Amino acid sequence: MDHYLVFGHPVRHSKSPFIHTLFARQTQQTLEYGLAEPAIDGFAAALQHFFAQGGKGCNVTVPFKEQAFTLVDQLSPRAKRAGAVNTIKLTDDGVLLGDNTDGAGLVADLTSHGVTLTGQRILLLGAGGAARGALAPLLAEQPTELVIANRTHSKAEQLAAEFHDLGTVSACSYEQLTGTFDLIINSTSASLQGELPPLAATLIHADIAIYDMMYGATDTAFIGWAKQHGARRTMDGLGMLVEQAAEAFTIWRGIRPGTKQVLRELKRNLGSI
Find the range with the poorest average confidence among 90-104, 187-201, 219-233.
187-201
CA distance 181 to 206: 11
117 confidence band (pLDDT: 50, 70, 90):
very high
pLDDT at 87 over 90: yes
* 215 marked ligand binding residue: yes
* 128 marked ligand binding residue: yes
Per CATH, the number for 103-236 is 3.40.50.720
**Mean pLDDT calculated for residue range 157-182:** 96
Phi, psi (degrees; rounded to nearest 5) at 155: -70, -40
Q: Is 89 an active-site residue?
A: no
Averaged pLDDT score across all residues of the chain: 96
* 16 marked ligand binding residue: yes
CA distance 63 to 130: 11
The beta-strand segments (E) located in 37-111 are 57-60, 74-75, 87-90, 96-99
Find out whether 149 and 173 touch, Cβ atoms under 8 Å. Answer: yes
Which residue in 250, 213, 253, 255 sits closest to 235, CA to CA?
Answer: 213
Which residue in 25, 94, 84 sits closest to 59, CA to CA?
Answer: 84
The domain ranges of the chain are 2-100+239-272, 103-236
CB 186: neighbour CB atoms within 10 A? 28
260 confidence band (pLDDT: 50, 70, 90):
very high
pLDDT tens for residues 246-257? Answer: 999 999 999 999
pLDDT tens for residues 187-215? Answer: 998 887 889 999 999 999 999 999 999 99
Q: Are 2-100+239-272 and 103-236 the same fold in CATH?
A: yes
From the list 56, 65, 227, 260, the catalytic residue is 65
DSSP state of 55: -
* 126 marked ligand binding residue: yes
273 confidence band (pLDDT: 50, 70, 90):
confident
CATH superfamily, with its number, for domain 2-100+239-272: Leucine Dehydrogenase, chain A, domain 1 (3.40.50.10860)
Cα dihedral 61/194/149/208 (nearest 10): 110
pLDDT at 157 over 80: yes
pLDDT tens for residues 46-76? Answer: 999 999 999 999 999 988 999 999 999 999 9
Its pTM stands at 0.94
* 237 marked ligand binding residue: yes
- pLDDT for 184 equals 98
CA distance 250 to 55: 17
CA distance 255 to 224: 37
Find out whether 86 and 102 touch, Cβ atoms under 8 Å. Answer: yes
Which residue in 214, 59, 209 sits closest to 130, CA to CA?
Answer: 214
Identify residue 50 by its one-letter amino acid code: F
* 82 marked ligand binding residue: no
> How many percent of the chain have pLDDT more than 70?
100
